[in-house]
Amino acid sequence: MRDGAVRVAAGMLSAGLLVSTAALAQSSIVVASTTSTEQSGLFSYLLPEFKKASGIDVKVVALGTGQAIDMARRGDADVLFVHDQVAEEKFVAEGFAAKRQEVMYNDFVLIGPKADPAATRGSNIVAALKKVATANAPFISRGDKSGTHAAELRFWKMAQGEPIGTAQPALMEFLSKGAAYRSCGCGMGPALNIAASSGAYVLADRGTWLNFKNRADLAVLVEGDKRLFNQYGVMLVSAAKHPQVKTAEGQKFVDWVTGDAGQKAIASYKIGGEQLFFPNAASAAR
């Protein structure tokens, strides 16, 4: 009789452990995001706040935006949090998310040697890139299909004034990835490290730059151009495409980061008294 009771109790305990394990598995999500949100330190600041509010753990996989979108498209993430609006809207149009919500913004800046040998300093990114090419100054491209890389390519196209391949042979020669134009295929932090060690120019998001410690002789040379605006969006991956997506938990994250608590947390993240990201989910929803 006693042995039977023990077996029943053990069975109940085992079942309880299975339930607890299942519950624990359901209390975590995967967010595919960008190197800029991670390397700026934003997620290290935000996620403990979200965990306190929801009890949900978040694993962030930080990649270039293009790679993050591919990861979400495969169903390997529950939430996508990136910064390439054209690519994000295509992701939604293809049915991989029901909608895209704006979360926050910051801006891109052109970083380069303080001496600025190409004379780029100012507030016009297109004119600055033309000067970099004319001077054949070293330039580090992310080359990783990230949101920053996509923005850089847009600015080079603007610098030519025509579709790539039809104008300004000197600029085309510069972009042919010779010695001066180097594509590292890397994240924002490594790209900045390469620029710091080689005295090169590089396009960066301001958040990662502010959190970057190995600045050497680098400085912000171009900022304030409205074309440097950098918007971030968040999307819940579609369970219709990928049934394994943790819809309830993922939606809680989306709701939190675009709601009052998450938006206040984003606004309060600062380095050296300087705000890195500016929440705008409410203004986007109006």
Q: Are residues 82 and 139 in the same domain?
A: no
CA dihedral 178, 181, 183, 188 (to 10 degrees): 170
> What's the rounded mean pLDDT across residues 25-49?
91
Confidence at residue 174, expressed as pLDDT on a 0 to 100 scale = 77
Answer yes or no: do 244 and 159 share one domain. Answer: no
Tokens of 202: 């590089």
Shared domain check, 80 and 186: no
* Residue where one domain finishes, among candidates 182, 210, 228: 228
CATH number at residue 266: 3.40.190.10
Tell me what pLDDT residue 239 has.
98
Same domain, 112 and 164: yes
- The answer to whether residues 182 and 200 touch, using CB atoms and an 8 Å cutoff, is yes
Q: Average pLDDT, whole number, for the chain?
A: 89
pLDDT value of residue 63: 94
Spatial distance between the Cα atoms of 261 and 228, rounded to a whole number of angstroms: 27
Same-domain status, 128 and 181: yes
Compute the average pLDDT of residues 212-238: 97
The answer to whether the pTM exceeds 0.95 is no
Is a pLDDT exceeding 80 seen at residue 4?
A: no
The last residue of one of the domains, among 183, 200, 228, is 228
Both 255 and 221 in one domain: the answer is: no
Residue 100 in this model has a pLDDT that exceeds 80: yes
Last residue of a domain, one of 192, 209, 228: 228
Residues 66 and 200 in one domain: no
Q: Do 112 and 216 share a domain, yes or no?
A: yes
- Give the confidence band of 286 by pLDDT, cuts at 50, 70, 90: low
Model confidence at 176, in pLDDT bands (50, 70, 90)? confident
Amino acid 234: pLDDT: 98
Lowest mean pLDDT among 71-75, 168-172, 278-282: 168-172
Which two structure tokens, joined as six digits, stand for 222? 């171009």
CB 237 within 8 A of CB 75: yes
User: Is beta strand 201-205 parallel, antiparallel or unpaired with respect to 181-183?
Assistant: unpaired
pLDDT digits (tens, 9 = 90+) for 116-156: 999 999 999 999 999 999 899 999 999 999 999 999 999 99
Q: 39: closest CA among 128, 142, 143, 126?
A: 142
Cα–Cα distance for residue pair 167/159, rounded to 1 Å: 10
Examine the domain organization and report whether 216 and 251 are in the same domain.
no
Other beta carbons within 10 Å of 27: 14
Containing structural domain, residue 159: 106-228
Q: Is the domain of 220 the same as that of 275? A: no
Q: Tell me, yes or no, whether 175 and 248 share the same domain.
A: no
In this structure, the answer to whether residues 280 and 238 fall within a common structural domain is: yes
pLDDT of residue 282: 83
Confidence check: pLDDT of 3 > 80: no
End-to-end CA distance of the chain: 68
pLDDT band at 161 (very low <50, low <70, confident <90, very high): confident
Q: How many angstroms separate the CA atoms of 120 and 196, rounded?
A: 17
- What's the confidence (pLDDT) of residue 25? 45
pLDDT at 271 over 60: yes
Whether the predicted pLDDT of 42 surpasses 80: yes
What is the pLDDT averaged over residues 210-215? 94
Q: How many domains does the chain have?
A: 2
